[in-house]
């Protein structure tokens, strides 16, 4: 296999570790240390115990969070009290079954699994690879990952595993493909040329925070769109360079030792595959055309009842993205399967779904304990306390405006290691940062852009991000020994480069006076 390192000649001296670059040795150290951590499921259990103990020690500690209606008093709540423990165990089943990533993953993968096991995805990749030069595979994967933000969390369950499949089929290391896709989907979360539901969602929280100081000030839902759209080129460039020049060369020493039966193999297309791909492609195209036709009318049921937009947070289209993914893959998969002959009856379709679900056992275990940890962390108010204390320290430092903005980015990046939800963090931080920086003469649009940079860049290095265990599971299909440390070491260069260079890019936007988005708002307030 091309990914298996060639052993040194007999009698040759082993390579001198001291001659390797400092960066390579540092990543090796991160991988060794990280892999010595407990299994992700156990890590979440330990985190849960820490939350219980710390919340008990700080029980009743009062603090205030600014809001539109004035300061809201909060206090740390012990999760070791009798009442809290009873509630914890009473809600345990609901906590797990309502864990948002769980339903997204399972429903989407049912459709994707049918498309994969029927051979539809395999045939489509063969056709795509026939027209895509090997040199452009990396930027293509990253670009598709960035576009996937429009479809909510679909990129995690669709694009990331396909990154591994595409790279493996092209004779490249599959972990590098997964890393490139993960970097685009999660590390570049706020870079998207197509407006998504995240834009109006964050704008609504920013608008509420602005009202604390200036109720008449309006913030456009696409106030950051020009910045986030142009950021795609930056993320693609950084991701392309790191994947091809840093990550993949380092992975050459890591053999691909997964079960070949679990790894899609690329062989020359057969006439049956060509017919199946044609039929499946037509079925998918018809589905997309039907969706566009249904969403096109101004009074479409898929549009927001308030604004008429199709990408607003309250637009029904955004709420049914995951079921749409299921339909848009399961139908072409079934059509391809029957036309190509891989499916003989409906039982083959059901078996394809069952086989896909059988590979998710490890993820289900991790998701169970992750859901319990996040539940207790949110209930304890420790996340709110950390955010408020960090913002208070930043405010008291009285730094120059550019330095303050950089500090905001880095603080958001740190908090993102603890609280994964973009909207949950901004709901907590916007009432603190937006009014504070408005009083320093910084516009709310610029503050929101700084938050989006910090919120994106550290997603890919924190096991507390709900989809992190899923990416570990995807990687283990190719390299069985992949653990938390392995994935963290692979993604750390992306995270650091995105954090530094994207922050500089924002400062350059500010310095050049380029518009952040629509609505005509500038960088200063008022």
Residue 301, classed as helix, strand or coil, is: coil
250's CB contacts (< 8 A; 6+ apart) are 24, 27
Three-class DSSP category at 213:
coil
> pLDDT tens digits, residue range 374-419?
788 888 888 778 767 766 776 777 778 899 999 999 989 988 887 6
Taking residues 89-95, report their average pLDDT. 95
Distance CA 215, CA 128 (A): 52
Instruction: Look up residue 25 and give its two tokens.
Output: 């040795």
Percent of the chain with pLDDT over 70: 86
Write the CA distances from 127 to 11, 169, 423, integer angstroms: 45, 12, 39
Confidence check: pLDDT of 8 > 60: no
Over the stretch 480-525, which tens digit does the pLDDT of each residue have?
A: 888 888 898 899 999 999 999 999 999 999 999 999 987 777 888 8
**What does pLDDT average to over the chain?**
84
pTM as predicted: 0.71
Beta bridge partners of 50: none
* Mean pLDDT along residues 147-162: 73
Candidates 481, 477, 415, 484; CA nearest to 451 is 415
Q: What are 265's two structure tokens?
A: 């193999």
Cis ω before 391 (30° cut-off from 0): no
Are the beta carbons of 104 and 157 closer than 8 angstroms? yes
User: What CA–CA distance (Å, rounded) separates 164 from 474?
Assistant: 8
What tens digit of pLDDT does each residue of 312-338 get?
Answer: 657 888 778 778 888 988 999 999 999
Distances (CA, A) of 185 to 85, 179, 191, 456, 468: 36, 10, 9, 9, 12
Strand partners, 62: 75
Six-digit token string for 76? 């740390």
pLDDT of residue 5: 40
Residue 64: the pLDDT is 82
* CA distance linking residue 307 with residue 331, whole number of Å: 32
CB of 116 closer than 8 Å to CB of 337:
no
Nearest to 369, CA basis, from 462, 487, 459, 469: 469
Q: Which range has highest mean pLDDT (78-82, 322-326, 436-440)? A: 78-82
Scored b (16 or more CB within 10 A) or e, 77-113 reads bbbbeeebeeebeeeeeebbeebebbebbbebbbbbb
Residues 117/352, Cβ–Cβ less than 8 Å: yes
For residues 511 and 61, is the Cβ–Cβ distance under 8 A? no
Convert the pLDDT of each residue in 446-473 to its tens digit: 999 999 999 999 989 887 777 888 899 8
Looking at per-residue pLDDT, the higher value among 300 and 18 belongs to 300
Is the pLDDT at 154 greater than 70, yes or no? no
Neighbours of 229 (CB within 10 A): 17
* Paired residues of 183 in beta bridges: none
Stretch 29-42: mean pLDDT: 68
Confidence at 7, pLDDT banded by 50, 70, 90:
very low
Model pLDDT for residues 267-287, shown as the tens digit of each residue: 678 899 899 999 999 999 999
């Amino acid at each position: 296999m091309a990914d298996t390192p060639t052993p040194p000649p007999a009698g040759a001296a082993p390579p001198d570790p001291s001659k390797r670059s400092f960066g390579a040795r540092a990543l090796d150290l991160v991988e060794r240390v990280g892999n010595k951590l407990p299994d992700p499921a156990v890590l979440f259990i330990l985190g849960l115990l820490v939350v219980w103990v710390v919340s008990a020690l700080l029980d009743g500690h009062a603090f205030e969070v600014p809001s539109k209606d004035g300061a809201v008093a909060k206090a740390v709540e012990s999760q070791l009290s009798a009442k809290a423990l009873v509630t914890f165990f009473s809600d345990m089943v609901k906590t797990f079954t309502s864990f948002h990533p769980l339903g997204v993953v399972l429903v989407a993968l049912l459709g994707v699994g049918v498309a994969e096991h029927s051979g539809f995805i395999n045939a489509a990749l063969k056709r795509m690879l026939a027209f895509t030069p090997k040199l452009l595979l990396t930027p293509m994967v990253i670009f598709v990952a960035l576009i996937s933000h429009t479809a909510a969390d679909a990129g995690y369950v669709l694009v990331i595993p396909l990154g591994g499949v595409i790279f493996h089929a092209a004779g490249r290391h599959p972990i590098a493909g997964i890393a490139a896709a993960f970097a685009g989907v999660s590390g570049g979360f706020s870079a998207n040329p197509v407006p998504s539901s995240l834009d109006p969602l964050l704008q609504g929280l920013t608008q509420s925070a602005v009202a604390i100081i200036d109720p008449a000030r309006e913030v456009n839902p696409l106030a950051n769109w020009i910045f986030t759209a142009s950021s795609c080129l930056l993320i693609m460039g950084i991701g392309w360079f790191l994947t091809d020049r840093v990550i993949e060369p380092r992975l050459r020493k890591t053999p691909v030792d997964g079960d070949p039966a679990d790894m899609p193999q690329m062989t020359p297309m057969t006439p049956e595959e060509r017919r199946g791909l044609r039929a499946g492609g037509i079925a998918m195209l018809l589905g997309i055309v039907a969706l566009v036709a249904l969403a096109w009318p101004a009074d479409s049921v898929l549009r927001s009842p308030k604004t008429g937009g199709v990408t607003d947070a309250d637009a029904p289209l955004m709420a049914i993205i995951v079921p749409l993914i299921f339909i848009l893959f399961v139908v072409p998969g079934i059509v391809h399967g029957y036309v190509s002959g891989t499916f003989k009856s409906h039982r083959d379709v059901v078996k394809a779904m069952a086989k896909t679900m059988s590979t998710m056992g490890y993820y289900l275990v991790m998701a169970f304990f992750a859901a319990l940890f996040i539940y207790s962390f949110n209930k304890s108010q420790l996340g709110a306390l950390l955010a408020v204390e960090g913002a208070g320290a930043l405010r008291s430092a009285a730094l120059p405006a550019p330095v303050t903005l950089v500090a905001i980015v880095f603080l958001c990046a740190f908090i993102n290691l603890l609280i994964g939800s973009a909207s949950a963090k901004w709901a907590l931080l916007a009432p603190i940062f937006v009014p504070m920086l408005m009083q320093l003469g910084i516009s709310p649009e610029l503050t929101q852009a700084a938050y989006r940079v910090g919120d994106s860049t550290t997603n890919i290095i924190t096991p507390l991000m709900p989809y992190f265990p899923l990416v570990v599971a995807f990687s283990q299909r190719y390299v069985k020994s992949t653990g938390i440390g392995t994935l963290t070491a692979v993604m750390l260069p992306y995270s650091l480069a995105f954090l530094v260079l994207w922050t500089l890019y924002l400062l350059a936007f500010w310095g050049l006076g380029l518009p952040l988005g629509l609505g005509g708002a500038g960088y200063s307030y008022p």
